[in-house]
């Protein structure tokens, strides 16, 4: 088994999104008895201590600095897309500098043979993990996203200019910080991301799905029911309450579809849009006090992953109306629980779904997307056999293509190839 070092800003299930990727690589490799180490930020120390108490000697932490705290405070006052590549980038660059120092030490002290940087997943963001003394694999990356043409947000002029400037300078930044040009392997989740890589790096990138599923957590229920405990089919949304998730459109679609078929809706997650969404549900007369009320919307708030899995197993379908979803791990998690999925036909969900396991709704216009979501919800609410067939097909697809055990097998092949090539040229 190769000696592996995973380097990532965060490795966390509670942070969600791309932060879960390094956690899963480390988790699976550690369970297999592999000689694997992890370098990450001290913000996740308590979570990792609880998860891996027997392996804390394998984890090195970059401590929070005054610069990290200053950038966090400043970034909280900026639009999210601006803070990501301004104050957020400064913070991540500071973390990587320390990670590079620690990585060089570990490579010498522990005989590390290969380094894996699974995040950030942005194809344009530069890396400084080079000249380490061991080959470096970066990715799978996933990005190059734009909103659907009918949903382009109205940007403040200075925000639009800064976003454009950041993209225009990606090539220059990757020359100044040439971790990606010098990487032994670049992995991308899809062709869209390959095209987004700067400096024509996409020509040598290898396609490998970004997300996976822990099938020990996301499981089918012992027996599928036609509906919730009240007998009403329950749809569920799971994710952050942010504007690009388009949960407001889901609420309009539910209001429309629930007038024509019995159903309920559960929203799992929290975020800046939560108060406005609650008010929208209240004005529609659909705010629920408990999960599973017919014609009502229940706000479950943020929940740990085990609770999310339980809620999925009590539900009949997942709905993800997101307009800017590079990945969409929740789609795979719902499929693993045997649920059909309704999603916007845009971005990440299209990498996972087909008409055998879900319904993709084109985001042609705002009214057509609402109508399409509503029609899909009515279809699944009134056809238990279709839900069962789609759910079974989705579960089979996840087992076949997206199990984390399978993904780690693929990455081990990548590691071994890089080690062999490095040894041949050393």
CATH (domain of 307): 3.40.50.2000
The answer on 413 and 392 residing in a single domain is: no
Per-residue pLDDT tens over the stretch 347-365: 999 999 999 999 999 999 9
Across-strand partners of 37?
5
- Distance between CA atoms of 47 and 13, rounded to whole angstroms? 8
Tell me what pLDDT residue 144 has: 87
pLDDT at 91: 86
- Spatial CA neighbour of 269 closest among 253, 233, 249, 245: 245
Do 305 and 377 lie in a common domain?
Answer: yes
Looking at the structure of the chain, the number of domains it has is: 2
Q: What distance lies between CA 249 and its chain's CA centroid?
A: 21
pTM for the predicted model, two decimal places: 0.89
Same domain, 302 and 377: yes
- Say if residue 245 is in the same domain as residue 171: no
Q: For residue 247, what pLDDT is reported?
A: 97
| 327 against 335, higher pLDDT | 335
Please give the pLDDT value at position 323.
95
> Residue 54's pLDDT is what?
95
Judge if 103 and 138 occupy the same domain: yes
Same domain flag for 207 and 305? no
pLDDT surpasses 80 at 78: no
CA-closest candidate to residue 344, choices 354, 359, 365, 334: 359
Cβ-based neighbour number of residue 56 at 10 Å? 12
pLDDT at residue number 90: 82
Cα–Cα dist 53/396, whole Å: 33
Note the pLDDT of residue 194.
94
Helix 20-31 and helix 404-425, axial crossing angle in degrees, nearest 10: 80
- Residue 155 and residue 25 share a domain: yes
Considering the domain architecture, whether residues 370 and 411 belong to the same structural domain is answered as no
Mean pLDDT (whole number) for 142-168:
71
409: containing domain: 4-212+403-425
Q: What percent of the chain has pLDDT over 90?
A: 77
- What is the band of 417 on the pLDDT scale with cuts at 50, 70, 90? very high
CA 61, CA 43: separation in Å to the nearest integer? 9
Please tell me whether residues 388 and 419 are part of one structural domain. no
């Amino acid at each position: 088994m190769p000696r592996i070092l995973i380097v990532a800003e965060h490795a966390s299930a509670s942070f969600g999104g791309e932060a879960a990727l390094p956690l899963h690589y480390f988790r699976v490799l550690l369970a297999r008895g592999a000689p694997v180490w992890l370098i990450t930020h001290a913000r996740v120390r308590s979570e990792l201590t609880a998860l891996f108490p027997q392996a804390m000697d394998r984890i090195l932490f970059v401590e929070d600095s005054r610069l990290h705290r200053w950038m966090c405070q400043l970034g909280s006052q900026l639009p999210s897309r601006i803070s990501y590549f301004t104050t957020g980038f400064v913070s991540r660059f500071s973390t990587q500098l320390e990670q590079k120092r620690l990585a060089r030490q570990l490579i010498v002290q522990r005989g590390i043979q290969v380094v894996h940087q699974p995040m950030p997943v942005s194809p344009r963001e530069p890396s400084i993990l080079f000249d380490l003394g061991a080959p470096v694999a970066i990715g799978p990356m996933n990005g190059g996203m734009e909103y659907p043409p009918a949903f382009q947000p109205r940007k403040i002029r200075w925000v639009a200019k800064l976003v454009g400037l950041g993209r225009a300078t990606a090539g220059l930044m990757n020359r100044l910080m040439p971790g990606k040009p010098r990487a032994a392997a670049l992995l991308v989740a899809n062709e869209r991301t390959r095209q987004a890589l700067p400096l024509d790096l996409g020509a040598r990138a290898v396609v490998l799905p970004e997300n996976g599923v822990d099938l020990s957590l996301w499981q089918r229920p012992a027996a599928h029911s036609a509906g919730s405990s009240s007998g009403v089919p329950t749809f569920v949304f799971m994710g952050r309450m942010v504007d690009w998730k388009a949960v407001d459109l889901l609420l309009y679609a539910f209001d429309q579809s629930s007038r024509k078929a019995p159903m309920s809706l559960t929203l799992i997650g929290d975020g800046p849009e939560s108060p406005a969404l609650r008010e929208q549900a209240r004005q529609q007369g659909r705010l629920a006090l408990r999960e599973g009320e017919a014609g009502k919307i229940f706000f479950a708030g943020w929940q740990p992953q085990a609770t999310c899995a339980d809620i999925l197993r009590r539900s009949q379908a997942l709905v993800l109306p997101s307009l800017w979803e590079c990945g969409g791990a929740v789609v795979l998690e719902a499929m693993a629980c045997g649920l059909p999925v309704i999603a916007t036909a845009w971005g990440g969900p299209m990498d996972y779904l087909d008409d055998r396991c879900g319904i993709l709704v084109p985001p042609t216009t705002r009214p057509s997307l609402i109508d399409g979501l509503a029609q899909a919800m009515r279809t699944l609410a009134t056809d238990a056999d279709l839900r069962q067939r789609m759910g079974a097909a989705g579960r089979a697809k996840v087992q076949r293509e997206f199990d984390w055990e399978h993904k780690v097998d693929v990455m081990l092949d990548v590691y071994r190839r890089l080690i062999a090539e490095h040894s041949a040229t050393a």
